[in-house]
Structures are given as structure tokens and as C-alpha cells.
Amino acid sequence: MSAVAELIRPDTNFVADEQLQEARRRLIVALDFDTVESARELVEALGDEVEFYKVGLGLQLAGGDQFARWLKDLKKKVFLDYKYYDIGETIKRAVSQAAEFGVDFLTVHGVSGILESAVAGRGNSDLKILSVTVLTSMDAKDIQEMGFPTSMSVEELVVHRARNAFKAGVDGVIASAHEVEKLKNEFEDRLMVVTPGIRPLGASLDDQKRIATPFAAVRSGADYLVIGRPITKARNPVESAHEIVVEMASALAAD
């Protein structure tokens, strides 16, 4: 487990209701299922404990768009994580449709021209455009395989891409907790940071490489945490979600 993940163990004894509410607002549960039926069952089980969900590629061809609409009908927030990557005009049209659909967050991947097209497609809607930097399942060896210089670290690539994203006018970036502090020092609240790769103490790492605990990620400055398997694969997902919310709230209380 990384140094960031082991940064500190939370004290959950002193958490106010407003901190719990804020933590719940900042938790995004990743519904990485193969079927809409399985995703719907979890949402119904979690009830009011979770208000924000990520719908990714696993559900895209299984009725993900209709499922996202169902979530919106439940007054839930929706993060559509399809990582759009195409020529500018196609991106502009796709993002425009997502904005009309009522999606809250949307991921886009690529160079400045693609990001600028996404911003144009968003128009005056409330849709937040998030640029992917480096996946939390990737490390230095992986980015070198992609063709980046061996002298470039993952953190340097993340910051480079974040700067381009900021110039393009997007609302935020996807980045691990390992880069959040550096990003916040540079951009402060002008660039939102949404952080996946979250693993509570003792949880399986699965295929993640750059991880952090919920407490450490919030303390580092992450605006939202995306958490999937520690909740969706838990024996008691409601209890697991609540424990994570409490841990996030304890990080907020430590300010």
C-alpha cells in the first residue's frame, strides 16, 4: 500500500451532521456492473446513503443511457464516464447531447482541441467536463510504454495534462490522490479534482496502482472521490458506504 494511503488513520469519533452531509455529497459510487439489473439493485439498496453515481463503459451497451435517465428520475446525480475521445465535431455533438440529457459530470480524453470542443458542446448547461489525466491503474512503466520520455514521472504528466485542460476551459480533471496536493497548490479551486483509486485500509488493491484511503484523499484536497468495488463488492454495501462517508467526514472535521 502506498505512502499516501498509509498517511494517517482517521478519528471518526467527532463528526458533525453537516460534515457527514458534505462527505455524502462528495462520494461518487462507481456502478461497474455488467447488467442494469445489478446496478439498479445496488442503487435501491443504498437508498439515501448515496446520491451520486458513476455510469461507465461496462453498462454503456447494456442500457446505460436509459439507466442514467432512471437515476436522474430518482433525483440522483450522474457521472457519465465514457471517456469521449474523437474528432472535435463529433465530441461537440456528443457532449451537447449529454448536456440535454441532464448528466452532471462527463469525462473527455485527449488533446486541447478535443477538450475545447467538449466545452463548446456543453454550452451554458450545468454539465461539468472532466479531463482524464493518467488512469490510477497506470504507473511510470505504463506511461513509458505509451511513448512518454523515461525522464517524465506520472506526476509530471498529470500536471502537464491538467494545465492543458485548464487552458481549454474544462471544469476539472481525473487524477489520483498522489497528484491532488500539487494540483491544488497550482490551481486552488479553479480546477476541480475528482479522484478514483480509493481503497479503505485493509481493502484489496484489485487492479489499482496509485491508491489512497478516503481519509488521505480528502485531506489531500480531492473534491470528489470515486469508489466502486470497496462498496459494490462488499458483503454489506450500505454499511461499507456509510463507513466511507464517516471516514471522509472525519477528514473534513480535521481542518
pLDDT tens, position by position, 124-154: 999 999 999 877 676 678 777 777 777 778 8
What is the structure's pLDDT at 20?
94
Residue 6 is predicted with a pLDDT of 43
Judge whether residue 205 has pLDDT over 80: no
Output the CA torsion 39→66→28→31 (10° steps).
Answer: 30
Any idea which residues carry the catalytic annotation? 83
Q: Is a pLDDT exceeding 70 seen at residue 206?
A: no
Q: What is the pLDDT of residues 14-57, one digit of tens each?
A: 678 899 999 999 999 999 898 999 999 999 999 999 999 999 88
pLDDT of 5 > 60? The answer is: no
The answer to the question of residue 106 being in a domain is yes
Q: Considering its fold, how many domains does the chain have in total?
A: 1
Domain residues for the domain of 152 are 17-253
Rounded Cα–Cα distance for residues 105 and 80 (Å): 6
Whether residue 125 contacts residue 105, with contact meaning beta carbons closer than 8 Å, is answered with no
* pLDDT tens by residue, 50-95: 999 999 888 887 888 899 999 999 999 999 999 999 999 999 999 9
The structure's pTM equals: 0.88
Residue 47 forms part of a structural domain? yes
**Is residue 3 in some structural domain?**
no
Q: ∠ CA(128), CA(106), CA(89), 5° rounding?
A: 100
Residue 10, domain member (yes or no) = no
Give the pLDDT score at 68: 94
pLDDT at residue 45 in the model: 96
> How confident is the model over 85-128, as pLDDT tens digits?
999 999 999 999 999 999 999 999 999 999 999 999 999 999 99
The neighbouring-strand residues paired with 193 are: 173
User: Could you tell me the CATH number of the domain that includes residue 124?
Assistant: 3.20.20.70
DSSP 8-state class, residue 199: -
Length of the chain: 255
The per-residue pLDDT for range 160-203, each reduced to its tens digit, is: 999 999 999 999 999 999 999 999 999 999 999 999 989 887 66
Domain annotation covers residue 150: yes
Q: In the beta sheet, which residues pair with residue 107?
A: 130
More confident residue, 3 or 82: 82
- Helix H segments across 26-133? 36-46, 57-59, 65-73, 88-101, 112-122
Is residue 96 in a domain? yes
- pLDDT at residue 2, as a whole number: 40
The C-alpha cell that represents 106 in the structure block: 462527463
Q: Is residue 5 one of the residues assigned to a domain?
A: no
pLDDT for residue 13 is more than 80: no
In a domain, 4, yes or no: no
